[in-house]
A and B are shown apart, each in its own frame.
Chain A
Amino acid sequence: MTIQAVPVPAPSTRRRARRIPVVPLLGGAALLAVLVCVVSGAALAPQDPTAQHPTLSVTGPGPGHPLGTDQLGRDVLSQLIAGARSAVIGPLAVAVGCVLIGVAAGMAAAYFGGVVDTVVNRFADLVYALPALLIAVVVVGVLGGGYWKTAAVLLVLTIPFEIRLCRSAAQVQVRQPYVDAARTLGLSPWRILFRHVLPNIVPTVLATFLLDFVGALISFAALSYLGLGVPAGTPDWGSMLAAGQQLITENPWLSIAPAVLIIITAASATLLGDWAHERLSRGGERA
């Protein structure tokens, strides 16, 4: 009898398996579009996203500005395209880093227990308990601000959540018979964790990955007044969202457009992730 992870059940009818997956495809296309913007940056934008026209401050859609302008008269559409880069890369780094470290630590804590568990948990407790703003302020004060320092700060602040969630999800798996069986067979702990436990906690991991991504995106803008995040004048979805709040009747697109893009990006990633997970689990089932 082969040892296998307990899979998350997937559609089992053959007919369904042959149907074109419309939704994941759309998601993939959307993500691709965003990625193109990320790579190309301002090159794809119809106008220079940093060109200011203060007299055109916060006007709605009109000739030359399909989505209107922001407070200094910069074109919103161009800023959206140019802003994809800073909006995606940093938060993505934070989310990926969080997952890598958090999942590993969480699973280790669940599996090994004892000292490892205690250390991991106390570390998480400590980070929760320290006021986040204070940490951010001190980092800026001592090390200076900047995009990647922000990513590092956010990474440290978000890891405890990842750890606790992954740990509890892993705890459920670790007590399953297949883990005992694997251990009896002499598989190394890391092999057990990554080949067998991890696939089963993917739904949790994916969910927290998305939340981390969106949360980091917002936080980049939220912390900008401290000198963290993107510097002023650099287009960024989060900053546009923040700046547009009070100006929502003058030019609603200033807030709505970046919000929609954030949702589309994150939702596409989720849908793709779900679909990929289902496909891969199905593969496992057949083995």
Chain B
Amino acid sequence: MPIVVFLLKRLFGVIVIVLVVSFLVFSLLALSPGSVVATLLGNRPSTPDLVAALKAKYHLNDPFLVQYWHWLVGVLHGDFGRSTQSGATVTSVIADHLPVTLEVAVYTLVLVVGIGIPAGMLAGIRWGSRFDKGVSALTVFGMSAPGFAVGIVLVYLLGVKVALFPVYGAGGSSPVDRIEHLTLPAIALAFGLIAIIVRQTRAATLNVMRQDYVTFARARGVSPTRILVRYALRNTALPIVTSAGLLLIVAISGAVLIETVFSLQGAGQLMVQSVTAKDVPVVQGLAIFIALFVVVVNLLVDAAALIIDPRTRVAARS
């Protein structure tokens, strides 16, 4: 059963990658300049006893591999350790910071898919029209403008002129409050990617519209919507699914700028803060989670590709 084999192979790959990532991250942290103790004590007065005590507490005198082994054994027992900075368990720290990031990611995905695909398709179908020209111009702008600079303009328009959306924070736990607070961050994050999706969708749609079978269908009287759904959508699905995967990955691991600007205490900020402070347990825990996430998302994207288009199941061979 090829699908099962595929899944098993990929799952094995997941485990390998996560292990490799954990070791690489640990090594990188060891190589990075600065020391945990210096970070904790800062440019404040200290004594040699204090330094020695801290070093013993965090096993900093053990050899590198021993330290990694300690950590690995802990993880295999489900104990990700505690943050060197606050003493809170790594799992609770991650649990405090992850939900916001996930929510922004999903919201952004909805915007990108919900706006980008219809816009691209419409532009492709109404090729050459004013709508198409307008959309194309916007994509040029979208790809050229630094995302956060556009964010500023948006906030200025939607803030100074019309106080529509809150400008900082993630809001309370009520869904309406959350959506209100996360709208501007989601728009800022979605900007460049919507441009790409629109362009890809438009190009693919144009492709499809020019095909003989579409002309034939139209001649037969099949409605444009039907054509759209039956032919255009399926053909553009693949790049779109990939872009969605990429977006999720970016949102989880690379959205620090957005998080800082909008004061969202998310996983991006957590990673930066922990790396800077050399908070090894937190960085390791978060890196593992992100690695897992990345690999699973790519797995889903590839699985979706197989499902969407059977022809991709047959790898091209010379």
A binding-site residues for B, Cβ under 8 Å = 6, 8-9, 11, 110-114, 117-118, 121-122, 124-126, 128-135, 137-138, 140-142, 161, 164-165, 167-169, 171-172, 174-175, 179, 183, 189, 203-204, 207-208, 210-211, 214-215, 217-218, 222, 241, 259, 262-267, 270-271, 274
Contacts and interface: CB of A to CB of B under 8 A. Distances in A.
Contacts, number: 178
B298 A168 contact: no
Contacts of A8: 203, 206-207
B311 interface: yes
A236 to B, nearest CB: 14
B74 interface: no
Contacts of A110: 316
A201 to B, nearest CB: 9
Given A130-B21, A137-B33, A207-B200, A161 B143 contact: no
Contacts of B291: 125, 129
Given A117-B315, A241-B146, A133 B204 contact: no
Contacts of B136: 274
Given A161-B250, A168-B238, A207-B200, 10 more contacts: A112-B315, A118-B13, A122-B13, A128-B253, A130-B28, A131-B271, A137-B28, A217-B146, A262-B144, A262-B149
B238 A172 contact: yes
Interface string B303-318: 0010001011001111
B202 to A, nearest CB: 8
A167 B246 CA distance: 12
Contacts of A270: 140, 143-144
B246 A165 contact: yes
Nearest to B192: A211
24 contacts: A110-B316, A112-B315, A113-B316, A129-B290, A130-B21, A131-B283, A131-B286, A133-B276, A134-B25, A134-B275, A138-B28, A161-B250, A168-B238, A168-B241, A168-B305, A171-B238, A174-B316, A183-B316, A189-B318, A203-B199, A211-B143, A211-B195, A214-B192, A264-B144
B316 A210 contact: no
Contacts of B250: 161
B141 A142 contact: no
Contacts of B115: none
B243 A165 contact: yes
Interface string B183-206: 000000000100110011011101
A262 B146 contact: yes
B32 interface: yes
B290 A134 contact: no
B272 interface: yes
Given A138-B28, A204-B196, A128 B239 contact: no
B128 interface: yes
Contact of B144 (A137, A189, A267): A267
Contacts of A210: 143-144
Interface string B205-219: 011011000000000
Interface string B244-270: 011001100110010000000000000
B235 interface: yes
Given A129-B17, A129-B21, A214 B275 contact: no
B242 interface: yes
Contact of B315 (A114, A168, A217, A266): A114
B242 A164 contact: yes
A255 to B, nearest CB: 8
A270 B139 CA distance: 10
A125 B31 CA distance: 22
Contacts of B316: 110-113, 174-175, 179, 183
B239 to A, nearest CB: 5
Nearest to A259: B149
Nearest to A221: B146
Contacts of A214: 143-146, 192
A172 to B, nearest CB: 5
A264 B140 CA distance: 10
